[in-house]
Amino acid sequence: MSDKPEKFIDENGLRLDGRRVDEIRPMTVEMGVLSRADGSCYLEWGNNKVLAAVYGPRELHPRRLQRPSEALVRYRYNMAAFSVEDRIRPGPSRRSTEISKVSGEAFEPVVMKQFYPGAVIDVFAEVLQADAGTRTAAINAATLALVDAGIPMKGLVASCAVGKVDGQLVLDLNKPEDNYGDADLPIAMTEDGEITLLQMDGNLTADEITKGIEMARKGCEQIFAIQKEALLSKFGTADEEELLKEAELQAEVATSEDESEDVEVISETVSDEIQAEDDEPEAEDDDEGENTELQDEEEAFTDDEVGDASDEAEDLFGEDVSEFEITENAESEDDSSSEPEGAESDEDEGEKNE
Ligand code: UDP
């Protein structure tokens, strides 16, 4: 373990890692990194490396643990044995149990548990590399993993610590500041500014606590911005042009829907007219009406035309078909009233044979 530095803040107001007192460490996030988890997020914050995974909602077993009106959110914070300088004993410890409890509670106002009665939502936060501020880093990653898992949430949760070194408040402690500083005040909050986690290690005056909370609030605002950027790059776009195109597309779809409604109205009118026409002859006497139409059509051909058609048919079939046709017509006329369907099927067959 490194020794306690003589000074944490130099004469230029810069800290050991070159940051100003109110500056957070650089943070990068990547969502959806685990294919087998329902949601996941990998986060690097300074030298911290954290992986958050969400499983669920799924039915909670044993059933006696189920909550009849909401889901149970279980949060497990774990530090990998290799994440720190001196290997830590694997498995749960008093520290990890405490961090798991308070971190899970930090999501209490945002996760809409009422949608999943009897279910469990498991959140796993694995610290792969630790450099102070791991519980806050884990909360920031877990928020995005929950969103990635599609868990309905009222908003995001961001977390950041404030501490005191060289008699000054500093935002987002690094390892020497955390280990050798005068105080460590990790805070988590919702986008509305509701504080959902507040712990304190060391000594601070009431005034320092108030100022510290304000400092953490500004830090959380920056983290919200990073989280939202990650969400936009995964699920949406802030590009106005894209949004405009999308709106135009929706307008087109709406217009074509209107048009298809018009078409429907027109087709309904046409089908009504057809129906009215169909009804008319039926209202009078059907069979006779049809026969009259048929006769009219036949009468429309001149004798010459009929003669030409017979000659053509003769050329094709090599026999005089006029007599055959007349016989068939005569038969079908007789049968038409009793077996209209059979007559149709004969026609179909004829078509198929052709
Ligand atoms: N740490 C460690 N061994 C431990 C616990 C913590 O080396 O068993 C280091 C680790 O780098 C951690 C830092 O001490 O990030 C501060 O730990 P703390 O308990 O304050 O939690 P954190 O600030 O990480 O949330």
CB of 135 shorter than 6 A to ligand 1: yes
Extract the tokens encoding 214: 């304000």
CB of 88 shorter than 6 A to ligand 1: yes
Å from CA of 309 to ligand 1 middle: 102
Single out the residue of 131, 134, 104, 136 nearest to residue 120, CA to CA.
Answer: 104
Pairing relationship of beta strands 119-129 and 39-45 according to DSSP bridges? unpaired
Å from CA of 135 to ligand 1 middle: 9
pLDDT at residue 190 greater than cutoff 70: yes
CB of 131 shorter than 6 A to ligand 1: yes
Q: What is the mean pLDDT of residues 238-251?
A: 70
- Calculate the alpha carbon distances from 177 to 23, 151, 172 in Å: 14, 36, 9
Q: Please check whether residue 60 is in contact with residue 120, taking contact to mean a CB–CB distance below 8 angstroms.
A: yes
pLDDT of 275 reads 58
pLDDT of 148 reads 98
Tell me: the pLDDT tens digits for 84-117? 999 999 999 999 999 999 999 999 999 999 999 9
Single out the residue of 62, 53, 81, 58 nearest to residue 71, CA to CA.
Answer: 58
More confident residue, 333 or 79: 79
pLDDT of 271 reads 54
Percent of the chain beyond pLDDT 70?
69
Q: Which of 83, 85, 129, 134 to mutate to test the pocket of ligand 1 (most atoms within 8 A of CB)?
A: 134
pLDDT of 337 reads 38
pTM for the predicted model, two decimal places = 0.71
DSSP assignment string, 282-304: HHS-HHHHHHHHHHHHHHHS-HH
Å from CA of 291 to ligand 1 middle: 100
The SS3 call for residue 11 is coil
Å from CA of 94 to ligand 1 middle: 13
Nearest CA to ligand 1 atom 14: 132
Phi, psi values for residue 256, rounded to 5°: -65, -30
pLDDT of 262 reads 53
Ligand 1 atom nearest residue 48's Cα: 15
Å from CA of 134 to ligand 1 middle: 7
CA distance 263 to 276: 20
Pairing relationship of beta strands 119-129 and 183-190 according to DSSP bridges? unpaired
Q: What is the mean pLDDT of residues 138-145?
A: 98
More confident residue, 285 or 75: 75
Ligand 1 atom nearest residue 131's Cα: 11
Q: Output the average pLDDT for the chain.
A: 81
pLDDT of 240 reads 62
Q: What is the mean pLDDT of residues 243-256?
A: 72
CB of 175 shorter than 6 A to ligand 1: yes
Ligand 1 atom nearest residue 88's Cα: 8
CA distance 354 to 120: 68
Q: What is the mean pLDDT of residues 301-313?
A: 53
Å from CA of 204 to ligand 1 middle: 20
More confident residue, 259 or 94: 94
Whether omega for the bond prior to residue 68 falls within 30 degrees of 0, making it cis, is no
Identify the band that residue 195 occupies on the pLDDT scale cut at 50, 70 and 90: very high
Percent of the chain beyond pLDDT 90?
65
pLDDT of 315 reads 54
CB of 184 shorter than 6 A to ligand 1: yes
Cα dihedral: 226, 231, 233, 234 (round 10): 140
Å from CA of 228 to ligand 1 middle: 27
Report the CATH fold assignment for 27-236. Answer: Ribosomal Protein S5; domain 2 (3.30.230)
Å from CA of 131 to ligand 1 middle: 7
Nearest CA to ligand 1 atom 15: 132
pLDDT of 67 reads 97
Nearest CA to ligand 1 atom 13: 132
Nearest CA to ligand 1 atom 12: 132
Identify the band that residue 236 occupies on the pLDDT scale cut at 50, 70 and 90: confident
CB of 134 shorter than 6 A to ligand 1: yes
Q: By mean pLDDT, which of 43-52, 90-99, 342-351 is the weakest?
A: 342-351
Q: Which of 84, 160, 173 to mutate to test the pocket of ligand 1 (most atoms within 8 A of CB)?
A: 84
Whether omega for the bond prior to residue 5 falls within 30 degrees of 0, making it cis, is no
CB of 178 shorter than 6 A to ligand 1: yes
pLDDT at residue 288 greater than cutoff 90: no
pLDDT at residue 330 greater than cutoff 60: no
CB of 38 shorter than 6 A to ligand 1: no
